[in-house]
Chains A and B, each alone.
Chain A
């Protein structure tokens, strides 16, 4: 009897230790997106900085980087120069900024002060962010030429991270 109890105890403790060990080094805030490998939810929004209407479906044929951000998000300030520099260097890639819960005035002031190289759209009621499963900003979705989401990155990106994920959209 005692031996059976011991074996059951060891099995339970081993399972818990294995579960905890498997989680070591993982970001507890990271959630795998169920949208990776699926068609990108379509949207058509007017850019606050350029005035043009950006319809995601009309961008088929080239890789698209959709970056959700906001002027109240501190890591977005850190990430912005990377996005602008890469957008200027990669004319065959369409960069799109989607600003989350913000105002047109604040966005235009931010872009005037920090530079702009691609259309920035306002997602005023957060519907586009919800459809993409955005949990926080910045979050970036990499969409291939066929309109499929191939990668999602949570947090501020540097050029290395951006290009590593973009490579998946270029395949």
Chain B
């Protein structure tokens, strides 16, 4: 374990750092259960790039576990959720965010379902109003005053 650590330290003189992408940490360094909890929260907001629609928190792939380890490390250093998501977005693009942002073509994901619901609601309401009115007209039109069948029914009902 110690040998592996020293080997890694020897091989990795400098690796890209989040500070180059999103600046200095803006939050409080996390530790203990709070760190684990927040790591899980953010891990479920990031898409695993080598999986089919899985969050890194749900994926057993090495890539996802590397990304999760990086999320944990950034939280330990005091990076905020927004900064961490922004860091991954700068490398992978919006694809990596499981919850798409309300901008550009992605805005359609949010707008379309609401628009379709609104159109459906208007259609149902207008159809319902029409159904309420139509039977009255129909009854008025189809009930002639001298209907022999109606006269016969009245006669039978009113007969003592």
Contact = CB atoms under 8 A, between A and B. Distances in A.
Interface in A107-160: 121-136
Contacts of A5: 123
Contacts of B116: 12
A125 B66 contact: yes
A134 B67 CA distance: 11
A48 B15 contact: no
Given A42-B14, A43-B14, A125-B15, 18 more contacts: A32-B93, A34-B90, A41-B16, A41-B20, A45-B11, A45-B14, A46-B11, A53-B13, A55-B14, A101-B63, A121-B11, A124-B11, A124-B12, A127-B66, A131-B21, A131-B91, A134-B49, A136-B49
For the complex, would chain B's binding face be called helix, strand, loop or mixed by DSSP majority? helix
Interface of A: 1, 5, 8, 12, 31-35, 41-46, 48, 53, 55, 101, 104, 121-136
Nearest to B69: A125
Interface size, B (range): 20 to 34
Contacts, number: 98
B13 A124 contact: no
A43 B16 contact: yes
Contacts of B12: 45-46, 123-125, 127
A45 B93 contact: no
A29 to B, nearest CB: 10
Contact of B70 (A1, A41, A127, A136): A127
B62 interface: yes
